[in-house]
């Protein structure tokens, strides 16, 4: 009987129209997610589309049901947005990292130390919003590259972002005097979120993620996606530099 119910649920979901999700634009980890999530859904025989948007707009689209959910958010996103359902098993992670200029005399070993400095972060990103909650000297910008430029010019002291995102931005900008701290301020799992109107999809996607984790397939897909995103980012940069 249980097998029949699962089969019925699977066929009902797969007969639905194409699913459309949103992601946050201008973040490396989200671009990696845009390559990984479709491969998870293909295991269910489902094609999806993903539209990158500014973080706040992506949240509005996902929570209102205008899209079918978001591809990648931290755990607390689900607590704050009950119209979305967290797929229980995380499929990626991020590090909340502080980037500072070399030899700037800045000492940060824990998140409480951030209050001593001028901080910049990308607007609407949950993990940096959370770690700066209650702080006064915090500015928002639209991209990681903008953050690094402000640190480079000495207009702010610290840029907060995911480690891989920050390192990629520095590589793109060819900046070598900004460095990450020796250790991240936080390490957070990343989850896929589905709008409550498609709650039947959640256990199916979760089972696929678990299977792909256990087999090692997900790790392989992520490694390939990371390499592709970094290569494309560098190639895009090279094509925009005048000869």
pTM of the model: 0.80
Nearest to 40 by CA among 190, 192, 224, 188: 192
Q: What is the pLDDT of residue 235?
A: 66
Per-residue pLDDT, averaged over 156-174, amounts to: 94
Q: What is the pLDDT of residue 172?
A: 87
Q: CA distances (Å), 114 to each of 48, 98, 100, 159, in order?
A: 40, 9, 12, 10
Per-residue pLDDT tens digits for 176-203: 999 999 999 999 999 999 999 999 999 9
Is residue 137 scored above 70 in pLDDT? Answer: yes
Is residue 239 scored above 80 in pLDDT? Answer: no
CB neighbours of 224 closer than 8 A, spacing ≥ 6? 35
Q: What is the pLDDT of residue 243?
A: 43
Q: Which domains does the chain have, with CATH numbers?
A: 2-91+191-236 (3.40.190.10), 93-186 (3.40.190.10)
**Three-state SS at 47:** coil
Residues in the chain: 243
In whole angstroms, what is the distance from residue 130 CA to residue 109 CA? Answer: 17
Q: What is the pLDDT of residue 86?
A: 98
Q: At what angle do helices 163-173 and 144-152 cross, to 10 degrees?
A: 70
In whole angstroms, what is the distance from residue 112 CA to residue 199 CA? Answer: 38
Q: What is the pLDDT of residue 95?
A: 94
Is residue 157 scored above 60 in pLDDT? Answer: yes
Is residue 169 scored above 50 in pLDDT? Answer: yes
Per-residue pLDDT tens digits for 54-108: 999 999 999 999 999 999 999 999 999 999 999 999 999 999 999 999 989 999 9
In whole angstroms, what is the distance from residue 17 CA to residue 205 CA? Answer: 16
Cβ atoms within 10 A of the Cβ of 15, count? 7
In whole angstroms, what is the distance from residue 200 CA to residue 191 CA? Answer: 17
Minimum mean pLDDT range among 8-22, 68-82, 102-116, 200-214: 8-22
Per-residue pLDDT, averaged over 8-30, amounts to: 75
Confidence of residue 230 (pLDDT cuts 50, 70, 90): confident
What is the average pLDDT value for the chain, to the nearest integer? 90
Cβ atoms within 10 A of the Cβ of 121, count? 23
Confidence of residue 238 (pLDDT cuts 50, 70, 90): low
């Amino acid at each position: 009987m249980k097998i029949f119910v699962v089969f019925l649920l699977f066929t009902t979901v797969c007969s639905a129209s194409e699913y459309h999700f949103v992601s946050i634009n201008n973040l490396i980890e989200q671009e990696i997610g845009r390559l990984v999530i479709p491969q998870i859904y293909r295991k269910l025989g489902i094609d999806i589309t993903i539209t990158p948007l500014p973080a706040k707009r992506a949240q509005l689209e996902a929570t209102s049901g205008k899209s079918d959910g978001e591809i990648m958010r931290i755990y607390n996103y689900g607590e704050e947005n009950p119209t979305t359902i967290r797929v229980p098993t995380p499929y990626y992670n991020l590090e909340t990292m502080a980037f500072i200029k070399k030899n700037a005399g800045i000492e940060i070993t824990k998140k409480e130390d951030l209050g001593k400095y001028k901080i910049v972060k990308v607007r609407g990103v949950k993990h940096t919003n959370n770690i700066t909650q209650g702080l006064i000297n915090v500015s928002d910008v639209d991209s990681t590259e903008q953050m690094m430029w402000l640190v480079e010019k000495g207009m702010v002291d610290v840029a907060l972002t995911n480690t891989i995102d920050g390192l990629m931005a520095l590589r793109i900008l060819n900046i070598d005097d900004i460095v990450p701290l020796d250790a991240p301020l936080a390490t957070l799992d990343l989850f896929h979120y589905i709008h409550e109107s498609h709650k039947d999809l959640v256990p199916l996607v979760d089972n696929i993620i678990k299977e792909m984790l256990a087999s090692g397939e997900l790790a392989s897909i992520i490694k390939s996606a990371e390499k592709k995103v970094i290569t494309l980012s560098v190639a895009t940069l090279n094509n925009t530099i005048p000869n």
